[in-house]
Amino acid sequence: MADGVFGELSGYPFLKAHGTGNDFVVVVDPEAELLLADDTVRLACDRHQGIGGDGFIRVARSEHLPEGREVLEQAPEAEWFMDYRNGDGSIAEMCGNGVRAFVHVLLRNGLVDLPPGQVVRVGTRAGVKTVARTDDGYAVDMGPWGFIDGDTARSRGSDAVVTAKGLRVPRPAVSITMGNPHTVVALAEGEKLDSLQLFTAPDVRPVPPDGTNVEFVVPLDEESGATEDVGRIRMRVHERGVGETQSCGTGACAAVAATRFWAGDTAPDEWLIEVPGGVVSATFVEGPHGAEHIVLAGPAVVVATGTFG
Per-position x/- string for 186-225, each x denoting binding to ligand LBFN2T5F as judged by CB under 6 A, each - no binding: ---------------------------x------------
Known binding positions for substrate: 22, 86, 96-97, 180, 213, 239-240, 249-250
Query: Helices 249-263 & 96-108, crossing angle to 10 degrees?
Result: 140
250 binds ligand LBFN2T5F (CB under 6 A): yes
277 binds ligand LBFN2T5F (CB under 6 A): no
Minimum CB distance to ligand LBFN2T5F smaller for 125 or for 232: 125
Q: Which is nearer to ligand LBFN2T5F, 10 or 130 (CB)?
A: 130
Number of residues that bind ligand LBFN2T5F (CB under 6 A): 19
Q: Using CB under 6 A, pick the residue from 242, 272, 275, 297 that binds ligand LBFN2T5F.
A: 242
Q: Applying CB under 6 A, does 22 fall inside the site for ligand LBFN2T5F? A: yes
- What are the catalytic residues? 95, 248
Stretch of residues binding ligand LBFN2T5F (CB under 6 A), selected from 33-41, 108-116, 237-245, 270-278: 237-245
For residue 234, give Cα distances in angstroms to 9, 53, 166. 38, 23, 17
Q: How many Cα atoms sit within 13 Å of 183 on the Cβ side?
A: 28
281 binds ligand LBFN2T5F per the rule CB under 6 A: no
**Which one of the spans 31-39, 40-48, 74-82, 244-252 is the region binding ligand LBFN2T5F (CB under 6 A)?**
244-252
Min. distance of Cβ 180 from ligand LBFN2T5F in angstroms?
A: 3
Please select the residue that binds ligand LBFN2T5F; options are 16, 17, 32, 97, rule is CB under 6 A. Answer: 97
Please give the C-alpha separations between residue 294 and each of 110, 148, 301, in angstroms, as whole numbers.
28, 17, 22
Query: Quick check: 248 binds ligand LBFN2T5F (CB under 6 A)?
Result: yes
- For residue 99, which of 68, 71, 132 has the smallest C-alpha distance? 132
What separation in angstroms does the CA of 53 have from each of 44, 177, 258, 271, 296?
Answer: 8, 24, 28, 27, 21
Handedness of CA 190, 280, 135, 301 (dihedral sign): positive
- Candidates 241, 276, 278, 287; binder of ligand LBFN2T5F (CB under 6 A) is 241
The 50-89 contact track toward ligand LBFN2T5F, x by CB under 6 A, reads -----x------------------------------x---
List 42, 125, 240, 260, residue binding ligand LBFN2T5F (CB under 6 A): 240
Bridge-based pairing state of the strands 278-286 and 127-134: unpaired
249 near ligand LBFN2T5F (CB under 6 A): yes
CB of 176 to ligand LBFN2T5F, least distance (A): 12
23 vs 79 by CB, closer to ligand LBFN2T5F? 23
Binding region for ligand LBFN2T5F (CB under 6 A): 22, 55, 86, 92, 95-98, 180, 213, 239-242, 245, 248-251
